[in-house]
Structure 1
Amino acid sequence: MVAYLLDTRSTEALKFLLTEEEAWKQLVEGTDPDIEDEDMLQNDLQEKTERDEEEALSEALGDTIVNSDVDDEYHLQRELEAQKRFLDVYPQVKLELEQHIRKLHDLADKVDKVHRDCTITQVVANSTSAVSEVLKILGFALAPVTPGVSLGLSATGLGLGAAAAATSVSTSIVETASTASAEAEASQLGPTNQDTANTIKEVLEKSTPGLASVYEKSFQDLEVFKKNIDAINLVKTNPRLANNAKRLMTTGAVSARKTRQVQKSFGGTALAMTRRARVMGAANSGLSLVMDVVSLVEASKHLHEGAKADYAAELRKQARDLEQKLQDLIQVHDSLTQ
């Protein structure tokens, strides 16, 4: 036994003997340390080791189960807190979504109304412009025949043309400003008055070059209009001068002095133009007339189809998207409260 105990390779066996009373008793009672007893001792030691490993494994598994239960409880608590927060904010979020949807529909209706009104105005402007070009053509054509009537038609055509151009540009500005204002409200859903004012100011600034061009042409037309009015009065008070102008346009058989008088008195009107100049003027008016008719047909067709604005359709699409989100929100709420 002493030899066995002194064997340093049997440290684990010794520990086993010291802790296991039955094994130690057998050893003390003088059992011979033969191979069979040694095998029995090793078997007992292996069994103890296995039991220790099983106990360690069980303990580890127990800790894992406990930790798993703690994690499940933690996640469940977090989920319950999230549901509570959702239910707390749901009424306010639902109310705001409903308000936004109504606002988008209102803005779309407003944009469509302005667009329809502007389309009607544009139809009138195109019609007026077309009539203006017709009167100009007639003025050029009748100048050699009836100078007085020709001047009257030309003057009327110029006046209508200037009015139509101003109306068309003003209509475009009104619609652009209205759309820009709606865009500002849709993006912010409740902008300040200053925001809207700044938006309209920006639109007007961008439209300034176009306005300047139209007003410059209108000013030129009004100057020609004034010359035609003065020429009408001159024809009434000086029939001989009108006859000289008529002969100059038809035959060209007038003296140089009379030609200078006609040019000075009727300059800027059809009565002082050569035949070639009148043909070119009529051709330009004819081209403008064609363009006015095309614009008139397109505007009339658009008006017949309902005159819906593109941006209004975009606003309604945004409203539909919000409506879908609102329905999803309601379904989530219902699933949590059932």
Structure 2
Amino acid sequence: MDNQAEEESEAGVGLQRDEDDAPLCEDVELQDGDLFPEEKIFLRDFPILKEYLKGTIDKLRALADGIDKTHKKFAITNMVANSAAVISRVTSLLGLALAPATGAGSLLLSTAGQGLATVAEVTRIVSGMLERYKNKKAQAQAKDILPTRDQEDREDEEDKAHYVTAAREIIDNVGNTMKYTKENIRAFQKLRANPRLANDAKRLLTTGQVSSRSRAQVQKAFAGTTLAMTKKALIWEGVMSVFFLGRDLASLSKELTHLKEGTRTKFAEELRAKASELERKLTELTQLYESLLQKVRSRAGGVGKVKAYWKGLREHVWMWVWLCVCLCVCAYVQFT
């Protein structure tokens, strides 16, 4: 392919046609004063360089589109996770609100809310890990296309630390949820088995007027659940739940706005900017290439016209010479 491109380039330099579509002389050679050596090399190598730059530009834009497409998928996943988090907060609030009225219903709703919150949090963590992995892979592809500064060692250490932290968070969330679920199941069983204890828990949540012994029994039997709370603790827990619900609603609104405005990442925009920069350079190089070709065409066309002129002039001179010779011969024969 290199030989073919070189032959085509040389053909474009030496065998172009002028504006009158007259063929240029094939034996026209560039003199040292016509083009610099670097310009001659550029004319020869530009077709190959042009194809390489076009391929690089297409690869960068395709990679940027792929990154944004992947980011959109994870943004949708995060939106679903935030929606689940909002539902879990609402369920937990209902569990707190029903605690003074029905302990069994409160335990069921609180357990469901905690479980749904864990699912949402784990989904967010896993989604972030997968997106980070995809971005790392895309960065490696971009580095193959356009080599950049080497930060692999430091970035690898950061990735390892991030994955370890994410794994620890998942384990902690799942472990806490399992512990909370077991406590609620145990409290539910005790609630059904001991109605008097259930009444003491209800009075503790509503009026707080129970004996110290009953308070101790309730807190020991229902430790870790809403039924072991005092009225003030229940109100405080409700306030905090409302606060976190507002935070989750804000995150959900942010994700929705992000999807509506278009899910473009910073790295993808950098790749598109680099592709646009290469495209501008390619345009400038193409203009330079056309300018040098025009220079060669003008030079070759001028040389061809001069040669054609001298060729025609020689033909006319010989014609007049032969005519004069003929006249001289005729005059000599006539007068001798």
Please give the TM-score of this superposition, normalised by the length of structure 1. 0.69
Secondary structure of residue in 1 paired with 2:33? helix
Pair 1:187–1:321, CA change in 2 (3 A): same
Unaligned runs of 5+ in 1: 1-72
Tell me the distance in 1 between the aligned counterparts of 2:210 and 2:119: 38
What residue in structure 2 maps to residue 115 of structure 1?
Answer: 71
**Who wins on radius of gyration, i.e. which is larger?**
1
Tell me the distance in 2 between the aligned counterparts of 1:309 and 1:332: 35
What residue in structure 2 maps to residue 282 of structure 1?
Answer: 238
More helix by share: 1
Tell me the distance in 2 between the aligned counterparts of 1:288 and 1:334: 65
Secondary structure of residue in 2 paired with 1:243? helix
Q: Describe the superposition over 1:36-66 as per-residue Cα deviations: whole angstroms up to 9, x where unpaired.
A: xxxxxxxxxxxxxxxxxxxxxxxxxxxxxxx
Once the two structures are TM-superposed, the CA of residue 152 in structure 1 deviates from its matched residue by: 0.7
Unaligned runs of 5+ in 2: 1-29, 295-336
Residue from 243, 250, 260 that aligns with 1:304: 260
Task: Output the amino acid matched with 2:33.
Answer: L
Cα RMSD for the two superposed structures:
2.8
Tell me the distance in 2 between the aligned counterparts of 1:332 and 1:209: 54
What residue in structure 2 maps to residue 90 of structure 1?
Answer: 46
Identity of aligned residues (%): 38
Residue from 272, 277, 280 that aligns with 1:324: 280
Pair 1:204–1:164, CA change in 2 (3 A): farther
What residue in structure 1 maps to residue 248 of structure 2?
Answer: 292
Tell me the distance in 1 between the aligned counterparts of 2:156 and 2:58: 24
Tell me the distance in 1 between the aligned counterparts of 2:219 and 2:165: 35
Tell me the distance in 2 between the aligned counterparts of 1:138 and 1:197: 49
Which structure's relative contact order is higher, taking Cα pairs within 8 Å and 6+ residues apart? 2
What residue in structure 2 maps to residue 76 of structure 1?
Answer: 33
What residue in structure 2 maps to residue 244 of structure 1?
Answer: 200
Tell me the distance in 1 between the aligned counterparts of 2:129 and 2:187: 36
Once the two structures are TM-superposed, the CA of residue 142 in structure 1 deviates from its matched residue by: 1.1
1:224-263 alignment to 2 at 5 Å?
224-263=180-219
Pair 1:114–1:324, CA change in 2 (3 A): same
Tell me the distance in 1 between the aligned counterparts of 2:252 and 2:173: 21
Contact 1:138 1:153 in 2 (8 A): yes
Contact 1:173 1:203 in 2 (8 A): no
What residue in structure 2 maps to residue 133 of structure 1?
Answer: 89
Contact 2:207 2:231 in 1 (8 A): no
Tell me the distance in 1 between the aligned counterparts of 2:209 and 2:82: 41
Tell me the distance in 1 between the aligned counterparts of 2:277 and 2:125: 35
Contact 1:177 1:199 in 2 (8 A): no
